[in-house]
């Protein structure tokens, strides 16, 4: 089973077991360049675990994950990031004691070694890039604010901004609109539509309307396995999917 080189991400036979419980079980899927893949599925289907496995947060029991023909399973988290994979967590994860500017600055892809960080200088390139990203995620007015004082939605945006500044080729978003107000939700949908243009994205989302808007293809997970895969219309018509979502 050789991965086709034109896929950006190849996941094959991925399995992880926690004391015998297989949260992800022989999972295979492929993501193409510039594709927006949405993963849906009931609670406990293993959606977040899949993202954890790809970005190295959880170690897989077996299988393979190839990104641009590099095996990710053998790499450390920071190496995976440098390879071009960005990950947003389900709950907004920002540095509350630092300002918005400093939050973005830490994610700026320069000075990542110990001595690089010691000698890092805030030059004009850094500042203009941070200003640019802040404007993209609607936070240009709040650069000097401590992240702790942001609203829930603004923290989500900040975390997305922290990913964008790394300019990853593959962006993985775990429920990016969860817990947002209706207005924030709309703004975020716009934002996501803009940022998924020139990169591949994997999104976990429950909001079907939102999924329909952005998805190139949809993968439905159930009990750690792929239940169905295809266009939104295809999976919505799939009797197995209907069974899982409505059957019980």
Enumerate binding residues for other proteins (CB under 8 A). Answer: 18-19, 21, 23, 49, 52, 55, 57-58, 76-78, 81-82, 86-87, 89, 93-99, 101-103, 105-107, 109, 111-114, 117-122, 127, 143-144, 146, 159, 162, 166
- For residue 97, the minimal CB distance to other proteins (Å) is 5
- For residue 91, the minimal CB distance to other proteins (Å) is 11
Q: Which is nearer to other proteins, 63 or 86 (CB)?
A: 86
Q: Which is nearer to other proteins, 118 or 182 (CB)?
A: 118
Q: Which is nearer to other proteins, 143 or 226 (CB)?
A: 143
Q: Which is nearer to other proteins, 122 or 186 (CB)?
A: 122
Find tokens 């990542």 and name the residue: 112
Spatial distance between the Cα atoms of 235 and 221, rounded to a whole number of angstroms: 11
Count Cα neighbours of 46 within 13 Å in the Cβ-side half-sphere. Answer: 26
- For residue 71, the minimal CB distance to other proteins (Å) is 18
Residue 186: phi, psi to the nearest 5? -65, -45
Q: Which is nearer to other proteins, 6 or 123 (CB)?
A: 123
- For residue 212, the minimal CB distance to other proteins (Å) is 29
- For residue 126, the minimal CB distance to other proteins (Å) is 10
Q: Which is nearer to other proteins, 3 or 143 (CB)?
A: 143
- For residue 133, the minimal CB distance to other proteins (Å) is 13
- For residue 191, the minimal CB distance to other proteins (Å) is 20
Sheet holding 7-18, edge to edge: 21-32, 7-18, 62-67, 70-71
């Amino acid at each position: 089973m050789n991965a086709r080189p034109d896929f950006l991400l190849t996941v094959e036979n991925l399995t992880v077991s926690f004391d015998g419980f297989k949260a992800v079980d022989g999972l295979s899927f492929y993501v193409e360049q510039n594709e927006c893949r949405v993963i849906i599925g009931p609670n406990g289907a293993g959606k977040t675990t899949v993202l954890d496995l790809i970005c190295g947060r959880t170690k897989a029991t077996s299988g393979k994950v190839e990104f641009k023909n590099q095996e990710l399973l053998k790499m450390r988290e920071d190496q995976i990031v440098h390879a071009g994979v960005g990950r947003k967590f389900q709950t907004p994860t920002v540095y509350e004691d630092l300002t918005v500017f400093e939050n973005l600055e830490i994610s700026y892809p320069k000075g990542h070694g110990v001595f690089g960080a010691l000698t890092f200088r805030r030059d004009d390139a850094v500042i203009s890039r941070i200003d640019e990203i802040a404007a993209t995620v609607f936070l240009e007015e709040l650069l000097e604010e401590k992240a702790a004082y942001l609203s829930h939605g603004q923290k989500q945006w900040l975390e997305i901004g922290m990913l964008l500044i790394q300019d990853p080729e593959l962006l993985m978003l775990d429920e990016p609109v969860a817990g947002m107000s209706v207005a924030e939700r709309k703004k975020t949908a716009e934002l996501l539509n803009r940022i998924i243009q020139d990169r591949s994205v994997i999104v976990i989302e429950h909001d079907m309307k939102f999924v329909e808007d952005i998805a190139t293809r949809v993968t439905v997970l159930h009990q750690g396995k792929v239940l169905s895969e295809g266009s939104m219309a295809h999976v919505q018509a799939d009797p197995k999917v209907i069974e899982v979502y409505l059957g019980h």
